[in-house]
Structure 1
Amino acid sequence: MLTTPRGLLPHIGLFGCRNAGKSSWFNALTGQERAIVSAWPGSTTDPVEKAYELLPFGPVLFVDTAGLDDEGELGMLRVQKTRAVLARVDLVVLLVSPGGVRDEDRVVLREARERGVPHLVLVNHCDVERPAHDVLAALQQEAGRCLTVSSRSDDDVAEVRRALLALLQQPAGEPAPVLVGDLLAPQDLVLLVVPIDISAPKGRLILPQVMTLREVLDRDACALVVKEQDYAARLARLDAPPALVVCDSQVVQPVVQQTPDTVPLTTFSILMSRFKGDMVQLAQGAGSIRRLLPGDRVLIAEACSHHAQDDDIGRVKIPRLLARAANGPLEVDVVAGRDFPDDLSGYQLVVQCGGCMVTRQDMLARQRQAARQGVPVTNYGMAISVAQGVIERTLACFPAALAAYRQAGQQR
């Protein structure tokens, strides 16, 4: 739990109106007095997060949120933050009063259903007031399974934990996302080309590289990790060609030039596009890059915050490559962390990072927003491959994505 990146932890969000008992349940479920509990409405302002080992499932991240019915100018900002949390969680826990469900609660239920996110409804404060039979029956018909509980009851806390475990362990509606495992067979050899430059973290690999290496090993395949300057020599010394080559996007052009066409090749960032998002939609967005014109607006979106260096990939390298593809300067905006504009309509393209530090739901929420507003979206790796003229090569392992890219490229 201490070393698992938060982007890989299932996020469990607690939602409800003010004084529904969200913070009390947050503290009860995590076993710590982490969130402020008060009878005064609106005690929770910003989302509060806590990683927790929910055995036997494993580590999860609980998120406490502000009330859905908060009021005033500041209250509306708090509600916006709560809605942003709703877009990125993997499991929704909705706290309602014994009096029944409110319109604000229905919004949460509707969005959870639309996204296919499992949800659990807790009728809280039942140590003080029991819901009327007709109210509970109507709520069960509207929301599905409901538990009548109190956060002060150890038995109720244990029951809620069991319910959460059951929801987390249910088979998802779609197959679990993979990085690379479905491309490999046991004993296959994978070459991982990893540059160690000024932007590389000291003493470790970056997360997409670590995740790929682990999945190769989980598949009972073998990995050979090399730096880009050693790649050609190592490749030539192999008795048989590798089953796959995965390289950093920043060295994709020379690696493609040095790799036989018969050897499958892609990049870490493109692998992340299928693990964290909708790869086909991102490939469609990549197909729009060739339609960029000088003066077009492009949004570069990073999911984490970091100190930008002189040749930063998001702020310098990708804008430079896109300007070259557009045959002229572009108007580029950069956002980082959880800052993401509500209105994307003024942009001709959104280029999202690989999203290694956020959840898949978070990435999909951004993609859905772009799709609703008719704005193409792609990711760093695909954008670089397009600009370097190697996208057909790096998408060849993924026929559906390649077809989507080609189709988008034919549009005018």
Structure 2
Amino acid sequence: MSSSPIPALIPNIVLMGHVNAGKSTLLNALIGQEVAITSPIAGTTTDTVHKRMEIIGVGAVNLLDTAGLGDTTSLGVQRLQKTLQSINQAHLLLYVLDASCWYLHRPLKQSALPADATRRIMVFTHIDQLTVDQRVALQQNFPDALLMDYQDPQSIDALLRRIAHRLQREEKLLLDGIALPHRHIVHVIPIDSEAPKGRLIMPQMQLLREALDRHLRSTVVQVEELQTLLDHDPTIDLIITDSQAFAQVSAINQQRYPLTSYSILQANQKGDLAFFLQGVQALATLPPQSNILMMESCTHNVNHEDIGRVKIPKLLQKQFPHITFHFDFVMGAHMPDNLQQYDAIIHCGSCMLPAKTMHHRMDQARRQQVPMLNYGLFLAYAMGILEEATAVYRSAPLI
């Protein structure tokens, strides 16, 4: 099976560093356009600037220029919080440092830099202010760093190549760990009121693209077309469906072929499936008055069929009629600091988040001893098919 790197979503490349380190100038140099305001005045970038570009060998990426660290203005604390939120969503960090005072940055090698070395690139700017001997000393002290000369196109090319190399070490894929002897998967994609007009949702597109890159055969059907397909094609390795159609698809399939959902594939790809399954088990011990945190990674309007705000709360109440539930709904990048106020966290499939962010959220839940699971696992549990829906992961502790 091919192990070619396939980005799970458009990667976020976050530029971070102290005020006046040259982050905005670096963003403009990478883009080749004046998209960020640059100035010698400290704190020019007051909010995160987003820009998308294409990088050869990677494809589309999101560049995020953040407010500088060490901002002592009255809004500095708020800007720092925005910067930290961006860092938590980063696939790759460009840590930008001023080469003219590089000797001040020696402690950063062990302390302030993000722990995962594969997720960061140190970039020194303003090297035109250094003598030849100072450049040599800088490179000796930081051998893995890039020295950026904006007047030299090769300098920008070197950084883009380094970025491409790092991003090609992307998180594991949706189908990793699943045996596919016939190299044929079936995508069951319901078209309901929540389906976006004229396009597929992110996990459906991701899986189709991954199947193409792996040279798998994909058959795409709606629920009402599945029976005919199963009756006439014995070469199916896996059926993947939207979690909301689990019950219908399971009834049609009758356990002839392995079945799972996009959300459960994402639980294994970006999270810790065993930890999430422990979260499912913990539902049986919820107290009579339970506070539930519902988390979604993207922001959208809500209708009567919304899975997070309508369907799952109703199913949870039906599953545990003796419990009085209170739900808090959080969308986007923010996660509450105090999780101990909640008895469980039910998270979306996280198609818009990098694995790094999901692991950060899981670590917070672990430290505060709050059970956590995702939409797909809960829906499989509520429909009584959790073991069937997770059977493709034989190493996971099935319930």
Distance 2:210 2:371 in 1: 30
The amino acid across from 1:118 in the alignment is R
Distance of aligned partners of 1:136 and 1:89 in 2 relative to their CA distance in 1, 3 Å threshold: farther
SS in structure 2 at match of 1:61? strand
Residue 21 of structure 1: aligned partner: 22
- Work out whether 1:147 is the aligned partner of 2:141: no
The amino acid across from 1:178 in the alignment is L
The amino acid across from 2:102 in the alignment is G
SS in structure 1 at match of 2:195? coil
SS in structure 2 at match of 1:45? coil
- Work out whether 1:238 is the aligned partner of 2:232: yes
The amino acid across from 1:356 in the alignment is C
Distance of aligned partners of 1:208 and 1:56 in 2 relative to their CA distance in 1, 3 Å threshold: closer
Distance of aligned partners of 1:34 and 1:324 in 2 relative to their CA distance in 1, 3 Å threshold: same
SS in structure 2 at match of 1:269? helix
The amino acid across from 2:216 in the alignment is A
Distance 1:26 1:47 in 2: 12
Distance 2:240 2:223 in 1: 11
The amino acid across from 1:373 in the alignment is Q
State the Cα distance separating 1:65 from its structure 2 match: 0.8
Distance 2:166 2:55 in 1: 12
The amino acid across from 1:87 in the alignment is N
In the TM superposition, what whole-angstrom CA distance separates every residue of 1:36-66 from its partner, at most 9, and x where no partner exists? 1011110111111212222244332221111
In the TM superposition, what whole-angstrom CA distance separates every residue of 1:141-162 from its partner, at most 9, and x where no partner exists? 5x55223333344343333334
- Work out whether 1:365 is the aligned partner of 2:364: no
Distance of aligned partners of 1:56 and 1:272 in 2 relative to their CA distance in 1, 3 Å threshold: closer
Residue 159 of structure 2: aligned partner: 160
Distance 2:48 2:7 in 1: 15
Distance of aligned partners of 1:253 and 1:276 in 2 relative to their CA distance in 1, 3 Å threshold: same
Residue 208 of structure 1: aligned partner: 203
What TM-score do you get using the length of structure 1 for normalisation?
A: 0.85
| 8 A contact 2:292–2:343 mirrored in 1 | yes
State the Cα distance separating 1:206 from its structure 2 match: 2.0
Distance of aligned partners of 1:199 and 1:148 in 2 relative to their CA distance in 1, 3 Å threshold: closer
The amino acid across from 1:120 in the alignment is I
Distance 1:111 1:348 in 2: 34
- Work out whether 1:274 is the aligned partner of 2:268: yes
SS in structure 2 at match of 1:178? coil
Distance of aligned partners of 1:312 and 1:163 in 2 relative to their CA distance in 1, 3 Å threshold: closer
Q: State percent identity of aligned pairs.
A: 34
1:332 pairs with one of 322, 327, 334: 327
Distance of aligned partners of 1:166 and 1:180 in 2 relative to their CA distance in 1, 3 Å threshold: closer
SS in structure 1 at match of 2:90? coil
Distance 1:315 1:346 in 2: 19
State the Cα distance separating 1:241 from its structure 2 match: 5.9
SS in structure 1 at match of 2:85? helix
State the Cα distance separating 1:140 from its structure 2 match: 5.3
State the Cα distance separating 1:397 from its structure 2 match: 0.7
2:386 pairs with one of 385, 391, 412: 391
Residue 300 of structure 1: aligned partner: 294
Distance 2:289 2:132 in 1: 60
Distance of aligned partners of 1:215 and 1:55 in 2 relative to their CA distance in 1, 3 Å threshold: closer
Distance 2:71 2:270 in 1: 32
Q: Which sections of structure 2, spanning at least 5 residues, go unmatched?
A: 1-5
SS in structure 2 at match of 1:252? helix
Residue 3 of structure 2: aligned partner: none
Matches within 5 A, 1:71-220: 71-97=72-98, 98-100=100-102, 106=108, 110=112, 112-113=114-115, 115-130=116-131, 133=134, 136=137, 141=141, 144-169=143-168, 171=169, 176-180=171-175, 182-185=177-180, 187-220=182-215
1:314 pairs with one of 308, 313, 329: 308
What TM-score do you get using the length of structure 2 for normalisation?
A: 0.88
Residue 346 of structure 1: aligned partner: 341
Matches within 5 A, 1:34-49: 34-49=35-50
| 8 A contact 2:180–2:238 mirrored in 1 | no
Distance 1:158 1:35 in 2: 20
Distance 1:229 1:148 in 2: 59
Distance 2:334 2:132 in 1: 40
Residue 253 of structure 2: aligned partner: 259
SS in structure 1 at match of 2:377? helix
Distance of aligned partners of 1:136 and 1:342 in 2 relative to their CA distance in 1, 3 Å threshold: farther
Alignment size in residue pairs: 392
Residue 12 of structure 1: aligned partner: 13
In the TM superposition, what whole-angstrom CA distance separates every residue of 1:204-242 from its partner, at most 9, and x where no partner exists? 32222222233334333333322223333432x225262
The amino acid across from 1:297 in the alignment is N
* Backbone CA RMSD of aligned residues: 2.9
Distance 1:249 1:165 in 2: 34
